[in-house]
Amino acid sequence: MAYVSKFQDLIVYQKARVHWRAIFEITKSFPKEERFSLTDQIRRSSRSVGAQIAEAWGKRRYQKHFLSKLTDADSEELETQHWIGVAKDSGYISDKEAQELLLQAEEIGRLLGGMMRKSAMFCNASKINEVQADYFEDEALTTTTDH
């Protein structure tokens, strides 16, 4: 059984960080004229996903607030998917790059959906008896942490 004692332990948070870093790297090649529009928008929305997950974790004492922040994270991920499409349509990224980024985004969305469906587990569990969520995929990443 895995214990989650901080938001950094969440697989969804870890995947969100990988995703925004991939977006950051790929946007380095965008044209300079996109610096304050598309580049800024896609970087902001992709970075916001992890921040919203962290905020949700901090508000898990209150299920409605927890769900609200997870919904915000999901909305930011959907916005990121929109900007990925814009980047592809503008010829800034290839079909393959867009597909890889969209697959990552969709997986994050599924994990967020799982957390929302099982929000009571996250909100009612104590630090000591935090229950394992079914959304964990990699057993190696779900280790017990003592605090």
Q: Domain segments of the chain: what residues?
A: 7-125
Domain 7-125 falls in which CATH fold? de novo design (two linked rop proteins) (1.20.1440)
pTM of the model: 0.82
Could you give the percent of the chain with pLDDT greater than 90?
78
How is residue 43 written in tokens? 């970087």
pLDDT digits over 15-24, tens only?
999 999 999 9
Type of residue at 14: Q
DSSP tag of 1: -
Farthest-apart Cα atoms in the chain, separation:
51
CB within 8 A of 60, min separation 6: which ones? 66, 122, 123
Res 145 pLDDT > 70: no
